[in-house]
Amino acid sequence: MNSPLLLVGGGGHCIATLDVLESAGISIAGIIHGPDQPLEYICGYPPLGYDDNIPALRGKYNLALITVGQIKTPTIRKRLYTLLKKNNYDLATVISPCSTISQRTKVGEGTIIMHNVCINRNVTIGDNSIINTGSIVEHGCQIGNHCHISIGSVLCGNVSIGDGAFIGAGSVCREGIHIGENAVIGCGLRILFDIPPHKTIKSNVLSPLT
Residue ranges for the known binding site for substrate are 69
Beta carbons within 10 angstroms of residue 106's beta carbon: 11
138 binds its own copies (CB under 8 A): yes
6 binds its own copies (CB under 8 A): no
Check binding of 200 to its own copies (CB under 8 A): no
Pick between residue 1 and residue 206 the one whose CB is nearest to its own copies. Answer: 206
Is residue 184 near its own copies by the rule CB under 8 A? Answer: no
Rounded CA separation 123/105 (Å): 5
| CA–CA dist 179, 185 (Å, integer) | 9
86 binds its own copies (CB under 8 A): no
Scanning 1-9, 57-65, 81-89, 116-124 for contacts with its own copies by CB under 8 A, the matching segment is: 116-124
Q: What are the residue ranges of helices labelled H in 87-164?
A: none
Residue whose C-alpha is closest to residue 109's, from 82, 122, 90: 90
Q: Tell me the one-letter amino acid at 4.
A: P
Nearest one of 99, 103, 135, 95 to 116, comparing CA atoms? 99
Binding its own copies by CB under 8 A: which of 19, 51, 109, 181?
A: 19
Stretch that binds its own copies, among 1-9, 11-19, 26-34, 50-58 (CB under 8 A): 11-19
| Residue stretches of the annotated binding site for acetyl-CoA | 148
Q: Is residue 120 a contact residue for its own copies (CB under 8 A)?
A: yes
